[in-house]
Structure 1
Amino acid sequence: MTTTDVTEPTGRSTDHSRATADDAHTHGDAPASSRAARLASFDPAAFGEITGSEEEWRFSAVDSLHPLLQDAPAEGHLTWDVPALPEGVTVTEVGAEQAMARSVRAPGDRASAIAASRAQGAAVLSVARNTVAADPVEITLTGQGEDVRGHVLIEVGESAEVTVVLDRRGSATYGEFISVDVAANAHLNLVLLQQWQDDAVHAGEVVARLHRDARLRGTVVSLGGKVVRLNTSAALVAPGADVELFGLYYADAHQHLEHQLFVDHAAPNARSRVTYKGALQGAGARSVWIGDVLIRKEAEGTDTYELNRNLVLTEGARADSVPNLEIETGEIEGAGHASATGRFDDEQLFYLKARGIPEDVARRLVVRGFFAELIQQIGVPSVQDRLIAAIEAELEVTGA
């Protein structure tokens, strides 16, 4: 592996439902309350100052994120450790104008707009059409405690297949905007790891666009950092598009981990699945999950489902989970969501203890089982092994 310094240029059970045609409602032009009506712009001033009372910021740690909401220069950068890349895969840089033009859409909040505008360009990971990369592309991005703004483009050509892992480490006050374009019949497995040091603050937005018969499997893992706020959106713009979004997070005392998702079904006969799971331990541990799915009028034949589960391991932790479903057509295959937050399942513990397993070991087994399905979805054995070890280390902290 070689090191390449790519300077990024300057509550309880909530809702369980399956939607039917009776739930459908038509909007015409999207009203202000519709998820489709939210502003997108590369101009930070268009969003105004953030107070924390805004709908998309009301659960956020705005005070801690304050530096990333100020439209000021940030001279730092993350060091990119890039391995030898497979044939057909390149990492390059482009200037600001080209970066904006090649992004699948403009940023959807002030933090990501500042990140894109202050980055003064973008790092571009390109996968040529018909490329089938047998091995994952694993890139480590390391911060040195600086203020950093980053803009990243991931472009997967027609009929290409690739796994990309971006592993964020070290310390930084990091704002980012990531654009992901998956061409027709292409398949991208994208893994984003947040393994920051305890003092890091990270606000990012990932926007993806899927074309005809394109497939995206995206996994977000947030373990480190003082505050992490990561928004992910996927627009399914052609028939046959398929997206699966997975998330795993583990919040410790006084750590805030937030994930907001938006799946935009804008074409017929497309499919989406969202599954996020989190564990929390320690006083002041906080997680936020908000999942929005929009099925537009033209998106007949949509099949979608979103799920969030939270496991509270100690007193003093709090999980907020808000699923939303907006339907503009009744001609769908299925749509629904589920969300629940709870403590250890007493029946599971009793079952294990009745078979001679000590309680501390039983608790570990329950947590491992809670996350096992998501870890397996990553599909990169080396990453899966590291995450299992990281979760074991978290369990050592709580004594579970």
Structure 2
Amino acid sequence: MADDDQRIAIIGGGFSGAMLAARLAEAGVASVLIDRTGTFGPGLAYSTPFEGHLLNVRANRMSAVEGRPDDFVDWLKASAGWRADPEGFAPRRYYGEYLQHRLNAVRLAHPGLIELVTGEVSAIEADAVRLADGRRIEARATVLATGNPAPKTAQGGSRRIIHDPWAPGALDRIGAEDAVIIVGSGLTMIDMALWLEANGRKGPIHVLSRRGLTPRAHGEHHDTPAPPTDLLLEGSPSQQVAEARRLAAETGNWRAVMEGLRPLTARLWTGADPKTRARWLRHLRPWWDVHRHRIAPEVQEAMDRLGSRLDISAGRVERVEADADGVTVHWRPRDGSAQPPLTGGWLIDCTGPGHAAAQTPLTGALIASGRARLEPLGLGLEVAQDGRAIGVDGTPDDRLFVLGPPAFASFWETTAVPDIRKRVEGLVGVLTAV
């Protein structure tokens, strides 16, 4: 059993935190894994029981361990009732079970090196974390791996507005014929639309987002990455967009262009100045997201079957009115013309993670104390390349690390499994060296 003050405290028991704890144990480093839900491994992303919620990445690219590409597929073949097609898209719940299996197997193989604690972290100190119930957990370093926060776009306290669609039972109140308004047209919108359909909800679904763009589908097979050109890597934002379009037209395969960019995205983001990042966010991000974060072909087919029940509009929400009977969304399309409001029984906020580090109690306190600071655009915490949080004086903190979605403002590509597992491996190297 390791000394308490030599352990690593990991806040968040989802993929990022759980797989870091497993890799640390395999390297002989003790950790305490803390999660407020008491569920360790799947996290929010892989806890859905609905088999229609599929992974957005092929099974043979979803190993939780860097350097062991067949780990997930081998587990599927041995343990799950799925066909285990390496090129297929497995139900997300199987992936959650796989993560739990890996965490439990490592705990058995390395007894005493992973402690699981259920609780809400209220403060991060220099040599410990404090829980809301008063417990103090000593640690030589703390890793913030809390995953994606809930959306924050829809405002108001009406029960007709569903702010967190992933909260247990969040959609259960929706009646079979109720009309639903969904704000946001990305991956979460697709998950909610498919869930409503599978659970017998047959009412119309009105979707509203700034540009009305929806995620594109993967091809039949994984696309071989197209080598990026110098202009794509070094040009101005407008030149980069034009070059990406030219390459896609020339090769006839935009997916290959996206695959070629994937390993380089974090470098491009970290190397860009704040002005360039702001231009990318303003002009490129919506198009990047729908082409980069793709859906399984089977999911696209299921969405197509919704037909006229699904209506997608492009525009900006001006205000939302809600009463005991339903919701009215006043909106304006991109051309500025007047449109009748959208009405429905319920509004579901699917606008994406509500990253607001300064307003979140835990990270807000770190910022206020000077142990952490916001990235120049204010999108989230600023993090060094090795995962250390950067303090107000610009110095990386040797006792505070950030992993997974909370680090997206600094690395951008840090939400998908293939990206996070590389970060896990790098962080294990740092934490075993000190």
Structure 2 length-normalised TM: 0.22
- Answer 1 or 2: which has greater helix percent: 2
Rg larger in 1 or in 2? Answer: 2
The structure showing larger relative contact order (alpha-carbon pairs under 8 Å, at least 6 residues apart) is: 2
